[in-house]
Chains A and B, each alone.
Chain A
Amino acid sequence: MILGFSIALIFFSVMMVVLVLLHKGKGGGLSDMFGGGMSSTGGGSAVAERNLDRITIFMGVGWFACIIILSLLLKAKNG
C-alpha cells in the first residue's frame, strides 16, 4: 500500500515537472520581478496551452492527494 502510493507520488511528481516545463515561460526573469514597470504583453493562450493547463491541474490534484494519503499511511504505520 505504502509502496504503491510512493510510486504513484514519484510518477505524479515527474509528470508535474514535465508538464510545467512544457508550458511557455511567463515573465522575463528578475528585472521585472522587482521594479521595472513594464507590463507583460497579454496574448491569449492557444488551445494546446489550455488543454495543457487542464492536464496540469488534474495531475496537480492527484499529486496533492497522493501526498496527503501517503502522509496519513506513514503516520498510521509509525504510530
Chain B
Amino acid sequence: MLTAFARAFKTPDLRKKLLFTLGIMVVFRMGAHIPVPGVNFKAVQACVNASAKSGNGLLGLVNLFSGGALLQITVFALGIMPYITSSIILQLLTVVIPRLDALKKEGQAGQTKITQYTRYLTIALAILQATGIVATASSGALFGSVNCDTSQIVPDQSIFRIATMVITMSAGTVVIMWLGELITDRGIGNGMSILIFTSVAAGFPSSLWAIKVQKGWATFAFVIIMGLAMVALVVFVEQAQRRIPVQYAKRMIGRRAYGGTSTYIPLKVNQAGVIPVIFASSLLYIPGLIVQLSGSTAGWAQWVDSNLVKSDKPLYGGLYFLLIVFFAFFYVAISFNPEEVADNMKKYGGFIPGIRAGRPTAEYLNYVLTRITWPGSLYLGLIAMVPLVALGLFGASQNFPFGGTSILIIVGVGLETVKQIESQLQQRNYEGFLR
C-alpha cells in the first residue's frame, strides 16, 4: 500500500498530474477564504460564529458544498452548486425535450454540446444565486434570526458596490468551473467531483472537533468508530455488483478468428451513486428558499418553515427518504438503457447463456436491474438518514460529519480517483492499491 504511494510519486507523468491536482485544490481553498470586496469581514465572522451556535438549518447543504465559504461571503461562496444544479436541470430536461435527447444519443459530439449548454446555464444560475446571496446578506436575512449586528455586513449599500459584488461572485463561480475542467483535463479524476470532495472534506475536522468540545472524549471516540464502520459499509456496497455473463460467438474475418470470449456486464447495486441524494436534497431545499426570499409570514410560510426546513422533523425525513428512493430508480432508468445494451450485444454476436438475444435479453436485464436497485436505493436512503439519527442521539449539528451526503461523496469520489490512479500505475507496474 505505502510502496504503491511511493511508486505513484516516482512515476514522472503521474507525479505531475497529482501535483497539478493538489495545486488546483490549494487555489480553490485559498479563494474560499478571500471575502468579496465590500463585505465587512469582522462583522461576517461574528455572525458566522453566532449562527454556528444556533444551527441555521436552511443553508446547511449549500454551505456544505461550498466548504463553509458561503456564509463567509467569499469570492468562491457559491462553490460548484450552480454547476451541479444546472447539470441536474439539463439531465432532467433530456427526458422532456426531444432535441436534447437526440443530442445525447449522438455520442461524443452531442455530449460536448450538452456540456456547453450546462456551462451557459451555470452562469445564469450563478448570477441569480449571487444576487440572492448579496441581497439577503445586505438586508441581514442571510443569517436568519441569529442575533448579531447584521447592518454592518455590507457597510456601503450603493447600487454600484452591490453590482460589483454580484459580478465578482459570478466570476468566482466561473473560475471554479474552469479549475474543475483543468483537473479533468490535466489532473487525476473528474475535476468537479474532486472540488466537491475538497469542500466537503474541508468541513470534516472542525465539525468532528465540535463534537469533542461539546460532548467529550467518549462520544468522540464512539463517533470515530461508527464513522469508520460506516466508511467500510459504504465501500462494501459501492463495490458490490452483479455480473451478468455474456458469451460472444466466434467469427472469422479474413483469416483471423474474433470473439469467442466470455465476459460479463457489471450491474452495480448502487448504479446511481450519490446523485439521488444530491437531487433529493436540492429539491427539498427549494421551498425553504422561497420562504426565505419572499420573507412572507403567512400560514403556509410558517408551515414550510416548521416542517420542511430543519432536517430533524419527521415530515422532512420521510420526504427525503422517499425522494431518494424515487430518484435512485429514476436515475438508473435514464442512465442505463437495457434495450440499447441488448441491441448492441445482438449486433456483435453476444448473448446471455440461456436467454435469447434481442427483446428477451432486454427484459431480463431490466428485471435484474430493477431487483438489484431496490436494496441499492434503500441503502442510499438509510445512509442519508444517519445524520438524523445522530441528531436524535447526540444532538449533533446538522452537518454531522459521518453520514448522508458527505460520506457518500467522500467515499464515492475517493474510490473513483484511487481507481484512476491505479489504472495509470498499472500501465507500468501490476501491483496497485486495491488488491
Give CA–CA (A63, B176) in the complex, Å: 13
Q: In chain A between 12 and 54, which residues have their CB closer than 8 angstroms to a CB of chain B? A: 12-14, 16-17, 20-21, 23-37, 39-41, 45
- A73: nearest chain-B partner, CB-CB: B37
Interface stretch of the complex, out of B183-191, B242-250, B288-296: B183-191
A56 contact from B38, B40, B111, B178, Cβ within 8 A = B178
- Measured CB to CB, the closest approach of chain A to B330, in angstroms, equals 13
A55, CB-defined interface residue at 8 Å = no
Please measure, in the bound complex, the distance between the C-alpha atom of A63 and the C-alpha atom of B118, giving whole angstroms: 24
Cα A29 to Cα B115 in complex, Å, equals: 6
- Interface contact A29-B175, CB-CB below 8 Å: no
- Residue in B115, B180, B191, B412 whose beta carbon sits within 8 Å of that of A34 in the complex: B412
Contact of B164 among A9, A16, A30, A63 (CB under 8 A): A9
Q: DSSP class of B's interface residues: helix, strand, loop or mixed? A: helix
Contact of B419 among A10, A25, A37, A56 (CB under 8 A): A37
- Minimum CB–CB distance for B87 against chain A, Å: 4
CB contact between A30 and one of B38, B91, B155 (< 8 Å): that residue: B91
Asked whether, in the complex, the Cβ of B111 is within 8 Å of the Cβ of A28, the reply is: yes
A16 touching B416 by the CB < 8 A rule?
A: no
Question: Is A74's beta carbon under 8 Å from chain B?
Answer: yes
B contact set with A: CB distance below 8 Å: 31, 34-38, 40-41, 75, 84, 87-88, 90-91, 108, 111-112, 114-116, 118-120, 123, 155-156, 160-161, 163-164, 167-168, 170-171, 174-175, 177-178, 180-181, 184-185, 190-193, 268, 270-275, 335, 409, 412-413, 416, 419-420, 423
A–B Cβ pairs within 8 angstroms, 12 of them: A10-B167, A14-B167, A14-B171, A20-B175, A27-B190, A29-B87, A29-B115, A33-B87, A33-B192, A33-B275, A35-B273, A36-B335
